[in-house]
Amino acid sequence: MNQLPPGPGPGSSRNARKLLRDLFLERLLGIHDTPHRVALGVALGFLVAWTPTLGFQIVLYVTLAGMVRANKLSGIPILFISNPFTAVPFYYFTWWVGYHLWHGQGPASDAVKVAAADPVEGPWWEIEFWQRVFQQLLAVGGETWLGGLALGLATAIPSYVIMRWLLRVRRSNVS
């Protein structure tokens, strides 16, 4: 009879922590570039990840990284915090932050009232469905961009400082 060895299974939090540790310690901290360029790449990754540019984020990130001379690889893993599985709660939160920055605590904007009163329905494979989705996204686009940029800056600035510090500590321990 085949028995599994004791210990955590493939979905355990222990394996998730190991995966994250390997990603950050071995991949990001092991990139051979200056601490400034690697940390700038991570910060830029956070900034781009919060923008409503799902599907274009890698192209946007690599272009911006080239313009500001950031490391072009260090921010790519960060971009995957926004993905098709997290898009709805992620961008709802982004819109919510932007809405409150733009309008304060007042009543919902007309665009939100229209979107709530007229939900997009129908088969997703028809062009009319995607036209309605696009129209509703445009109606709340200002708030989403504002929230994305605010959250992007709120995560990019500390990530730059922390990443640069981690790189210096790691490299001084290796030497």
Q: Within 10 A of 49 (CB to CB), how many other CB atoms are there?
A: 25
Interatomic CA distance for residues 47 and 43, integer angstroms: 6
The chain-wide mean pLDDT, for the chain, equals: 81
The residue behind tokens 């313009």 is 67
* CB-CB contact of 71 with 37 (8 Å): yes
Please give the average per-residue pLDDT across 116-142, as a whole number: 70
* CB-CB contact of 30 with 74 (8 Å): no
* CB-CB contact of 156 with 39 (8 Å): no
Interatomic CA distance for residues 153 and 49, integer angstroms: 11
The separation between the first and the last C-alpha atoms of the chain, rounded to the nearest angstrom, is 50
40: nearest Cα among 19, 80, 67: 67
User: Which residues have a Cβ under 8 Å from the Cβ of 170 and sit 6 or more positions away?
Assistant: 25, 29
Which tens digits make up the pLDDT trace of 33-54? 899 999 999 999 999 999 988 8
**More reliable by pLDDT, 12 or 163:** 163
Least confident of 23-37, 98-112, 130-144: 98-112
pLDDT confidence tier of residue 16, bands split at 50, 70 and 90: confident
| Residue at 20: amino acid letter | L
